[in-house]
Amino acid sequence: MTHPRIAPGSVLGIVGGGQLGRMIALAAANHGLKVHVYAPDADSPAFDVAARTTCAAYDDEAALAAFAAAVDVVTYEFENIPRATAEVLARHAPLHPNADALATTQDRLSEKAFINGLGIPTAPFQPVDTPDDLARALDAIGLPAVLKTRRFGYDGKGQRIIREPGEGDRNAIFAEFGGAPLILEGFVPFEREVSVVAARAADGSFAAFDLCENEHRNHILAFTRVPAQGVSPETAQEAIRIARSIADALDYVGVLAVEMFLVREGGERLVVNEIAPRVHNSGHWTIEGALTSQFEQHVRAVCGWPLGSPARVGGLPCEMENLIGDQVEAWRAILGEPGAHLHLYGKGEARPGRKMGHVTRLKG
């Protein structure tokens, strides 16, 4: 579909109803857009802040078509919507990011092949579809190695490290994953994890936030600190160049995040781990920490509006802390902390591992 002129008052459709959709919706409303959220779960955090909602499954073609026909432009807040869903949407409304970008990045195998095809390093990898493939892939890649599902993994779900040659029976390890298509990756001996959060507009203009440093606990992002420490200016520039070449090659419109490992052995270098074709948890600090938030930037890009400045407010360093599970119970104390910016996602039950909110602190 060609891009109609999107102006304040137009309707932005968001597929997916989690906290990312909620924060995109809040940014869109701030610029006078009406937001229509499509999600399968009646409890979706984004429903609370949307002008219109559709509660239906991601494979309900009639509901998807009706939703897309009722909006002026569609985006999505997570990458696990089926390609067929994206194609139904794109028949009725402009879809950003495009369905090919979604399909390339939602399977770790096609994603890594695409990244290597641009001359950008990733961990070595091999597809694993049978227990014999696993034995062959372990021979080719060596140990330690990380076995992951190719699709639908997040927060460390759907992966395990294999450290020792005698570790477990190949059939049993393969069976743990229930027959899903897998990928074996070489373990990257990283010093720190960093990410680039950046926006690309339809005219090819590009704006990256400063390099983020990410600390995970139990495979879940716990802290993002900006700017990343211990990274040379040349490497930080290289990270942004990598993100731009990925966005250009995908003909990407919107915000994306590229997660990378910083490796010190053999000289400081970057290895790409994965691409998130959406706004990203490591970009939440931008709401208060940058002149334009990642959510506003995404709205600007998908609406065909000029991108904003990604510079840090006052050039200040910034820290974002996720509130996971019962950490959210500290909300009252955080409200009492001068300068702490609290965001709660309106989720009911604080289950272990569930992202309930976050807090951003500018380090003035």
Two structure tokens written together for 339: 């300068």
Q: Rank residues 36 and 150 by Cβ distance to ligand AMP and give the closer one.
A: 150
C-beta of 163 vs 363, nearer to ligand AMP? 163
**Cα–Cα–Cα angle for 163, 169, 174, nearest 5°?**
90
Tokens for 177, please give them: 């994953």
Piece of 15-23, 98-106, 185-193, 262-270 that binds ligand AMP (CB under 6 A): 185-193
Task: Please choose, out of 15-23, 37-45, 89-97, 181-189, the segment that lies near ligand AMP by the rule CB under 6 A.
Answer: 181-189
Closest CB to ligand AMP among 216 and 351? 216
Between 274 and 321, CB nearer to ligand AMP: 274
Binding part of the chain for ligand AMP, among 18-26, 66-74, 183-191, 241-249 by CB under 6 A, reads 183-191
Region binding ligand AMP by CB under 6 A among candidate stretches 15-23, 187-195, 250-258, 303-311: 187-195
Residue in 40, 121, 153, 325 binding ligand AMP, rule: CB under 6 A: 153
9-17, 162-170, 184-192, 299-307 -> range binding ligand AMP (CB under 6 A):
184-192
> At its nearest, how many Å lie between ligand AMP and the CB of residue 22?
22
Between 263 and 302, how does the x/- string for binding to ligand AMP read (CB under 6 A)?
----------xx----------------------------
Burial (0-12, 13-18, 19+ Cβ within 10 Å), 160:
middle
Instruction: Compute the distance between CA of residue 159 and CA of residue 221 in angstroms, rounded to an integer.
Output: 16
Asked if 163 touches ligand AMP (CB under 6 A), the answer is: no
120 binds ligand AMP (CB under 6 A): no
Q: Which is nearer to ligand AMP, 185 or 296 (CB)?
A: 185
Whichever of 31 and 192 has its CB closer to ligand AMP, that residue is 192
Residues between 189 and 218 that touch ligand AMP (CB under 6 A): 193, 216
Give Cα 128 distance to the centre of its chain: 25
Taking the complex as a whole, the smallest distance from the CB of residue 169 to ligand AMP amounts, in Å, to 22
**Residues linked to residue 35 through DSSP beta bridges, in sequence order:** 12
Residues whose CB is less than 8 angstroms from the CB of residue 128 and which lie 6 or more positions away in sequence, other chains included: 134, 137, 147, 174, 181, 182, 183, 184
Q: Give min distance, CB of 295 to ligand AMP, in A.
A: 22
Nearer to ligand AMP, 151 or 170 (CB): 151
Q: Which residues are at the interface with ligand AMP (CB under 6 A)?
A: 123, 146, 153, 156, 185, 187-188, 193, 216, 219, 259, 273-274
